[in-house]
Amino acid sequence: MLGLAAVFGFGGLGQVRVYVCFLAVAGGLFFVQRRFCDRRWFWAGALVLFSVAIDLTFVLFNGVLVGDNDLSFYYTQYTEMMGHDYRVRGMYSALFPGTVTYPALLTFVSKLFGLDAARHLIPIGLNIAVMAVFAGVAFLCFSGPGKGNGRGFALGLLLCVNPYKMIYAATVNAELLFGACVFFSVAVFDRARRSEGKASWALYAGSAALCAVSALFRPLGLILVAAVCLYLALFSGTPMKRVLPVCGLFIVSFWLVGLANNGIVKNASGFDIPKRSYGWNLYVGASETGTWNSADGAAFEEMMAGGGTPDEIMAAFADKAFRRYKAMGLGAVPHGLEKLSRLFPATAYLQQQLPVKTRTAYLPVLSAFDAPVMILGLLGLALALWRREKGFVMPLIALYVLGNVAAFMFLEVAPRYFVSFHLLMCVPALYFVEWFFRGGKRGMMKNIDKGGTAREHKDAEGLADADQN
């Protein structure tokens, strides 16, 4: 797809200037919202439209970025499913279920709206729509009454102007959908925790469903299940008679979606998902580089040519991975830390997806935006764990991030896997900033008390609003 940048010769620096203009608009919107802050749904809609405007502008300048490597393969799978009634060739797809479920979703949406001829617009439109809702929901969930709306609006604006969101929205990828499912699950979980009766259980079920659906795009949704269980047991102050059923709800939901996932993959490829589906990622994670390399790629091709089943192939790679880590001994720790150091600065991989003219220009933008967000976000997560707040789910986000960090110390690392974290980390970053400028008071979520009933929460919100006025 030809972009306006190619038509008018609008290079990378010109596009960066447009981005800076959007930053200025974001600043203006924030100050206007602080003056007229009592219309929450109006401002949620404004964030949705602002996010759409930014993402559409980037797409219009650069076109749809099919991308390299995995992103290109997603599009190939999607195209094949469109022409073969949701089916793909070979058992490679069964080895990596995400290469089936995400293209299957794109195929379903394309057929639903009859957009076969414009199929390249479906993944982009889906990304833009989901990210717009992301910004609006973030505002509604992380804002208080009255003047407390400013904190949520700042978060929504951070998400709107996040360059990772803007660039990846123009590519065929499952990372943004996965990140949205995780965020929505956490947001609904927080609402459930502050509700009562049947409404509370309905919201817990919704949160569990969103968490389970995230596994259709990334298996890391399992870490959120574990984080929820740990949070309920250690941080929430919830009675154990309530903790166990909620944990069970998340576990059962994840298991049911896993069954559905296997059905989708088997229908598309003719093979079941391997029981040890982590085998290849663990094997590559145990390599010297911790990421894909030509030697491991050759080993994969050799294994595929051997004629084994997906289950046998993944089991063999899992066994090889365990032998690699056994040979490392304690050296596995510095090896893992070195891998993690390459995860967060994802600019090198991201630049591969950009047109050549814009790659160099966007690097300082990415660094200038992302470095402070990640540093402040890590400080916010540490603060949440240290304070052990029972009235807010920030410790849950911290546990989820820590779980992923622990997993990637051993699994294959690719900066693309952490794209969703560049969005999620905006939440603890803002949490820390507000806490700091309030002189160490409760800050961001002070309108939510430590536990209690829904009526007690309502009373707390009223007191917070009165305090701010």
Among the listed residues 431, 423, 441, the one whose alpha carbon sits nearest the alpha carbon of residue 152: 431
Q: Give yes or no for residue 198 having a pLDDT over 90.
A: no
Amino acid 334: pLDDT? 92
Amino acid 166: pLDDT? 86
Number of alpha helices (DSSP H) and beta strands (DSSP E) in the chain:
23, 0
- Angstrom distance (rounded) from CA 454 to CA 447: 12
Tens of pLDDT, residues 207-251: 999 999 999 998 889 999 999 999 998 888 778 888 999 999 999
Q: Give yes or no for residue 70 having a pLDDT over 80.
A: no
Question: Which of the four pLDDT bands, split at 50, 70 and 90, describes residue 445?
Answer: very low
Q: Give yes or no for residue 460 having a pLDDT over 50.
A: no
Amino acid 203: pLDDT? 93
- Angstrom distance (rounded) from CA 376 to CA 315: 40
Q: Note whether 401 and 340 are within 8 A (CB).
A: no
- Angstrom distance (rounded) from CA 174 to CA 5: 26
Q: Give yes or no for residue 462 having a pLDDT over 60.
A: no
- Angstrom distance (rounded) from CA 159 to CA 127: 13
Encoded amino acid at 80, one letter: E
Encoded amino acid at 411, one letter: L
Amino acid 193: pLDDT? 85
Rounded to an integer, the average pLDDT of 72-89 is 84
Amino acid 458: pLDDT? 45
DSSP 401-465: HHHHHHHHTTS---GGGGHHHHHHTHHHHHHHHHHHHTTSSSGGGTTS-SS--HHHHHHHHHHHH
Q: Give yes or no for residue 402 having a pLDDT over 50.
A: yes
Among the listed residues 129, 123, 80, the one whose alpha carbon sits nearest the alpha carbon of residue 100: 80
Q: Which of 29-38, 137-146, 354-363 has the lowest mean pLDDT?
A: 354-363
Greatest alpha-carbon pair distance for the chain in Å reads: 72
Rounded to an integer, the average pLDDT of 121-129 is 91
Within a 10 A sphere around the Cβ of 308, how many other Cβ atoms? Answer: 14
Amino acid 3: pLDDT? 47
CB neighbour class for 76 (10 Å; exposed up to 12, middle 13-18, buried from 19):
middle
Express as a percent the part of the chain with pLDDT over 90: 39
Rounded to an integer, the average pLDDT of 47-70 is 82
Highest mean pLDDT among 32-46, 204-218, 346-360, 402-416: 204-218
Greater model confidence, 134 or 441: 134
Rounded to an integer, the average pLDDT of 436-440 is 77
CB neighbour class for 356 (10 Å; exposed up to 12, middle 13-18, buried from 19):
exposed
Q: Give yes or no for residue 459 having a pLDDT over 70.
A: no
DSSP character at residue 1: -
Q: Give yes or no for residue 41 having a pLDDT over 80.
A: yes
Amino acid 328: pLDDT? 92
- Mean pLDDT, the chain, whole residue set: 82
Amino acid 183: pLDDT? 92
CB within 8 Å of 313: residues ≥ 6 apart: 95, 274, 279, 280, 303, 304, 306
Amino acid 68: pLDDT? 59
Q: Give yes or no for residue 6 having a pLDDT over 80.
A: no
Greater model confidence, 6 or 24: 24
Tens of pLDDT, residues 252-282: 999 999 999 999 999 888 888 998 889 999 9
Which ranges in 36-174 belong to alpha helices (H)? 40-62, 69-83, 92-95, 98-113, 121-141, 149-161, 163-168
CA distances from 356 to 2, 8, 15 (A): 14, 16, 13
Q: Give yes or no for residue 129 having a pLDDT over 70.
A: yes
Buried/exposed 108-132: b ≥16 CB within 10 Å, e otherwise = eebbeeeeeeebbebbbbbbbebbb
Tens of pLDDT, residues 289-344: 888 888 998 999 998 888 788 999 999 999 999 999 999 999 999 999 888 877 66
Tens of pLDDT, residues 352-378: 556 556 666 667 777 788 889 989 999
Q: What does the domain layout of the chain look like in residue ranges?
A: 4-468
CB neighbour class for 60 (10 Å; exposed up to 12, middle 13-18, buried from 19):
middle
CA distances from 434 to 128, 236, 440, 450 (A): 29, 22, 9, 19
Question: Which of the four pLDDT bands, split at 50, 70 and 90, describes residue 158?
Answer: very high
Greater model confidence, 175 or 114: 175
First to last CA, the chain: 52
Rounded to an integer, the average pLDDT of 67-75 is 75
Amino acid 446: pLDDT? 46
Greater model confidence, 101 or 167: 101
